[in-house]
Chain A
Amino acid sequence: MDYDFYLSTMWSVLKALPLTLEIWFFGIAFGLIIATGLTWLRASGSKSGEYFTRAYVFVFRGSPLLVQLYLIYFGLSQFDFVRHSPILWPILRDPMYCTIVAMALNTAAYESEIFRGALRAVPVGQIEAAKAFGMSPFTRFRIVTLPIALRLALPAYSTEIILMTKATALASVVTIMEMMGTAQKIQHDTFRPIEVLTCAGVIYLLLNLSIARLFAWVEYSLSPHLRPAPDQSQQIKPVPEVL
């Protein structure tokens, strides 16, 4: 085995990690904002809001992210008004921004479905109790619905975040030299696909391992009520006959 080659490849790919993380971070951050808006629109009860979100989810969940990325990067620049727009053009001519926009739009579709499911899974009785104690809709949402729904959404949400980590590799097709782009360049220069792609794969694995561990820790610390009961040896007194 050519350890020197492995090491130098590892180092070259790792130097592209910050760029990968940048795409990843802004993609999921903007995605979360859009998903929150979509979820709110869907839950608001308005018919047009529901149709819009359903159409949105249908389009962005139903087509490949690669197609969406190509359409945004290569497709939109075909329109004159895009090229002459002072707002759109600075964003859409930059491959980095295009990737972030495509990832955010795509993940928002999945996440809004995750959040919708979590909101619907909050036990009705817990919300009813909040109502019966005079909580306003906002307080009810903040104190009861949201904390429970977040815990319910977390497992599926962490899976979506891991999918997005892997999706950052698509940025390489629009000329971005993140980890995958860097790996491909080395591969083309050296014709040693096994070594190079193994290095990239290992880094993605380790990255996703840390993300998965992080989410597992968050989930664990937010759900003490779902863990086994604590020590029951501390006996409690029976209710006295006369209180």
Chain B
Amino acid sequence: MSASLAAAANAASSPDEASAISVKDMRKCFGNHEVLKGISLEAHKGDVISILGSSGSGKSTLLRCINLLETPDSGEVRVDGELIKMKPGRDGNQVPADIRQVERIRANLAMVFQSFNLWSHMTVLENLVAAPTHVLKRPRAECLEQAEALLKRVGIWERRNYYPPHMSGGQQQRAAIARALAMNPKVMLFDEPTSALDPELVGEVLRVMRSLAEEGRTMLVVTHEMSFARDVSSKVMFLHKGEVDCLGEPKEMFARAPTQQFGQFIANFNK
């Protein structure tokens, strides 16, 4: 009953039912430095969008503005058709109008961080159960069961009672991905998930991410892994100096760079 009501409400507020995330003209400054200069992004359900760009191009900021870890100065974000309500703040920039709405939307947008950010005082299993029980108020037994299944899936069930500092980076990141999955998120946000890993540990994390993409999850992935962007994602977005330089199908973009900037960018990686 409530699910169908929610679906009806979503359908009413969204002209495009397949839209998972829609960003319009997002701007963000840090001091005098304009990091995002009006970015728009459309992610449909099932899309895997790789966001590429050199350091300082604004790709992480874009991701963090979508779940409001950073507050965008202007622009609008819709998640599953629902607009995140903003209001004018004291300094003229907008601030979230309803923090409860933001919290509810964040619970649908699980994030995987570059530095894992697992809660170090909890075991892996507790890490997976914390948010579902305290945010979604699901029964603990059910969360535990799901957590164990997710840990089996990412291959670290044997480490379920370990504390994060006792695991390798790759294992920690797989635990972090499982923690995100435990929220049954509508969209997953990955912020350079393999950048803090030793080269030999990157593969195990990418394999998990690839399997998520293959089961049709909606993912926004900020990454430097060109092979992932080319082979796994359904769209590639290239940011340059806070603007969308080009956007398209990965096969075409990697076969023939649509812009000079993107050409130089991938040339640097192929060296």
Contact = CB atoms under 8 A, between A and B. Distances in A.
A226 B121 CA distance: 9
A136 B82 CA distance: 20
Contacts of B138: none
A236 interface: yes
B113 A139 contact: no
B156 A236 contact: yes
B131 A135 contact: yes
Contacts of A236: 155-159, 171
B228 interface: no
Interface string B228-244: 00000000000000000
B134 A240 contact: no
A78 interface: no
B147 to A, nearest CB: 14
A151 interface: yes
A201 to B, nearest CB: 39
A129 interface: yes
A155 to B, nearest CB: 15
A134 B113 contact: no
Nearest to B102: A134
A129 B117 contact: yes
A132 B166 contact: no
Contacts, number: 102
Contact of A129 (B118, B135, B174): B118
B204 A230 contact: no
Interface in B47-82: 67, 69
Interface in A91-134: 123, 125-126, 128-134
Given A126-B117, A234-B158, A243 B106 contact: no
A47 interface: no
A225 B106 contact: no
Interface size class of B (residues with CB under 8 A): 35 or more
A80 interface: no
Contact of A134 (B104, B165, B207): B104
Contacts of A223: 121
Interface stretch (A5-13, A140-148, A179-187, A202-210): A140-148
Contacts of B131: 130, 133-135
B211 interface: yes
B207 A139 contact: no
Given A128-B113, A226-B165, A135 B134 contact: yes
Contact of B155 (A131, A139, A230, A238): A238
Contacts of A148: 119-121
B125 to A, nearest CB: 13
B221 interface: no
Nearest to B210: A243
A230 B165 CA distance: 11
Contacts of A125: 113, 115, 117
Contacts of B113: 125, 128-129, 132
Contacts of B247: none
Contacts of A1: none
Interface string A189-231: 0000000000000000000000000000000001111100110
A130 B103 CA distance: 10
B36 interface: no
A236 B124 CA distance: 15
Given A129-B117, A225-B165, A134 B158 contact: no
Nearest to B211: A243
A235 B179 CA distance: 22
B193 interface: no
Given A126-B119, A133-B107, A224-B163, A239 B135 contact: no
Interface in B156-176: 156-159, 162-166, 171, 174
Interface string B169-192: 001001000010001000000000
B20 interface: no
Contacts of A135: 103, 131, 134-135
Given A132-B111, A243-B153, 14 more contacts: A126-B117, A126-B120, A129-B111, A129-B118, A130-B131, A131-B69, A132-B110, A133-B106, A133-B107, A133-B179, A134-B107, A224-B163, A225-B164, A239-B174
Interface of A: 123, 125-126, 128-136, 139, 143-144, 147-148, 151, 222-226, 229-230, 234-243
Q: Which 7 A-B pairs have the closest CB atoms?
A: A134-B107, A225-B163, A229-B166, A243-B211, A129-B117, A133-B131, A125-B117
7 contacts: A123-B120, A128-B113, A135-B135, A143-B119, A147-B121, A225-B163, A243-B211
